[in-house]
Amino acid sequence: MALTDLAIKKQKKDWLGDGNSLYSRLSASGTRSFVHRHKRGSIHLGNYDSDLSLAKARDLNTQVKLVIRSGHGVALVKAALSQTKDPLEFLKIINGGRTAEQVADALTFREAHEQWHQWMIDHGQWADGKHVKQNMTEVKRIFYPFIGDKPVNRITTDDIVEALSVQVPDLETPNKKVLFWLGRHETASRNLGRCKSILAYCKANNIIEHNPADFDPKFILPEPRNQKIKHHPRVDYERSADFWRDFTSSRVLDEQGNIAAMITMLTAVRVGDVVSMKWKDVDEKKGVWAFTVGKTSRHFRTPLPPLVIDLLNLMKEKRLNSPLVFSKPTNEAGHLTTQSVTNNIKKVDGYTASAHGWRSTLKTWATSVGYRHEVTEMQLSHEKDALEAAYNDADYLDERRVMMQHWQEVLTGEASYDERARV
């Protein structure tokens, strides 16, 4: 939990953490001070109130952490802190008396990207190894040829637009060239967002004054026209029971990938969340799985119909010494991949299906038989405000439990797909 002035003033424990390696320390004499803790020890930043406000301590702590990570010795850091408690003056001393502009001149986009990437990892911003890797490799591939070695305070909006405007083969007409922004629009847009975040990190740390990636692309880049929305292949709900029968009759059902696929179909939870499921998040007695959604910090819980509990019991028999239900130590993320689950679902002959498509199948079925829109949307974790109010009555858990039990019976053929909603 982040520190507050009130918490510091009422502090009774020796140490209170704020995050990002910053702590408030209470001495035997009652003095409160800010301390940066690192792998090899700690660094006294200054006393609370007389030297530093909480806000200023956070700024100074961030600079200290960056300076240590960049390779400067602790002795130099302590010497600089003995001369000033001002974050900008501290940086000036560390960098041999250079001005803030000179410091910015020395930091390239490549270095800023690496610092930002590490900060995102340290603060748990990505759910798995796939996102960690993508946020490094895609930015490298798209932006480094244009601004990788350019000082961040020299980067312009034109530089960024140039990187997004390279010519690439048209996927629909291979012999034709098209702008990257148009031909790979989803990838280009996603990485513009990453570039904006990297430079926002620089701005927040007083390295640059303006973020050149903070612009509305519709005013600068050509507007993508006739962009085809690619829907995930899905099974019509009228054929869902047939698919389930064919799936369960054509494979060994206690294998990891097949169990993960069945849980995906039974709960309509995103496949990425299914494969990263943790044992500690599952309450078998209450039939509830509570977890953090994807790459976000949003909490969500889903009811688990009886068949899911049975499938988890099968996994328990195979349980490795791992906190993950679908542990796969040989994979980079440490668990089963989403692609392996999708591949299992695609292998059923006679259907065009995907793991993600089952979310659409559930929604179409639930709407057609009369379940309330907000209940269905909550099960699909679409309602942001409601998600943030999870663990209370606002998440419609009881209604969703009835709906998902009904859905299990539709899949297994125990109930007709056109039976009306039960709540």
- Tell me: pLDDT of 281 over 90: yes
- 261 and 365 in a single domain? The answer is yes
The stretch 131-155 carries a mean pLDDT of 91
Residue from 139, 159, 152, 160 nearest 206 by CA: 152
| Percent above pLDDT 70 for the chain | 89
- 373 and 244 in a single domain? The answer is yes
Could you tell me the two tokens for 322? Answer: 């791992």
User: Residue 418: inside a domain, yes or no?
Assistant: no
- Tell me: pLDDT of 237 over 80: yes
Block residue for tokens 């390295």: 207
- 61 and 135 in a single domain? The answer is no
pLDDT at 145: 96
- 340 and 244 in a single domain? The answer is yes
- 171 and 209 in a single domain? The answer is yes
- pLDDT single digits (tens) 335-390: 999 888 988 888 887 888 888 889 999 999 999 999 998 899 899 986 444 444 44
What is the CATH classification number for the domain harbouring 370?
A: 1.10.443.10
User: Residue 423: inside a domain, yes or no?
Assistant: no
- pLDDT single digits (tens) 2-19: 789 999 999 988 899 988
- 208 and 326 in a single domain? The answer is no
pLDDT at 389: 44
Burial class from Cβ neighbours inside 10 Å (0-12, 13-18, 19+) for residue 166 reads middle
DSSP 239: G
249 Cβ partners below 8 Å, 6+ apart? none
DSSP 363: H
pLDDT at 98: 55
Q: How many CA atoms lie within 13 A of 411 on its CB side?
A: 24
- 389 and 243 in a single domain? The answer is yes
Could you tell me the two tokens for 399? Answer: 């209604």
- For residues 225 and 219, the answer to whether their CB atoms sit within 8 Å is no
Predicted confidence band at 294 (pLDDT cuts at 50, 70, 90)? confident
- 90 and 118 in a single domain? The answer is no
More confident residue, 393 or 157: 157
User: Residue 225: inside a domain, yes or no?
Assistant: no
- pLDDT single digits (tens) 76-128: 778 788 888 988 888 878 877 555 555 556 678 998 898 888 878 777 776 55
- 365 and 263 in a single domain? The answer is yes
User: Residue 416: inside a domain, yes or no?
Assistant: no
- Distance between CA atoms of residues 122 and 106, nearest Å: 24
147, containing H or E segment: helix 129-147
DSSP 287: T
pLDDT at 277: 94
- pLDDT single digits (tens) 36-73: 988 767 889 999 988 899 999 999 998 888 888 777 77
Q: Tell me which of 188, 219, 250 is where a domain ends.
A: 219
- pLDDT single digits (tens) 160-201: 999 999 998 877 666 788 999 998 888 899 899 999 999 998
User: Residue 17: inside a domain, yes or no?
Assistant: yes
- Distance between CA atoms of residues 123 and 39, nearest Å: 16
What is the CATH classification number for the domain harbouring 11?
A: 3.30.160
Structural domain including 306 reads 237-411
User: Residue 232: inside a domain, yes or no?
Assistant: no
Crossing angle for the helix pair 397-411 and 256-267, to the nearest 10 degrees: 120
User: Residue 382: inside a domain, yes or no?
Assistant: yes
- Tell me: pLDDT of 221 over 90: yes
Phi-psi category of residue 347: left, alpha or beta, with phi > 0 → left and psi -120 to 50 → alpha: alpha
Residue from 263, 236, 414 nearest 344 by CA: 263
Q: Which stretches within 336-396 are classed as H helix?
A: 338-346, 357-369, 373-379, 384-388
Q: Tell me which of 186, 219, 252 is where a domain ends.
A: 219
DSSP 168-222: EE-SSSTTSEEEHHHHTHHHHHHHHHHHHHHHHHHHHTTS-SS-TT-S-GGGTSP
- 205 and 70 in a single domain? The answer is no
- 76 and 148 in a single domain? The answer is no
- Distance between CA atoms of residues 10 and 29, nearest Å: 15
Predicted confidence band at 392 (pLDDT cuts at 50, 70, 90)? very low
- Distance between CA atoms of residues 84 and 64, nearest Å: 12
- 355 and 281 in a single domain? The answer is yes
- For residues 261 and 344, the answer to whether their CB atoms sit within 8 Å is yes
* Angle subtended at Cα 399 by Cα 398 and Cα 401, rounded to the nearest 5 degrees: 65
pLDDT at 171: 72
Query: Into how many domains does the chain fold?
Result: 3
User: Residue 229: inside a domain, yes or no?
Assistant: no
Block residue for tokens 């301590």: 57
Q: Tell me which of 46, 67, 97 is where a domain ends.
A: 97
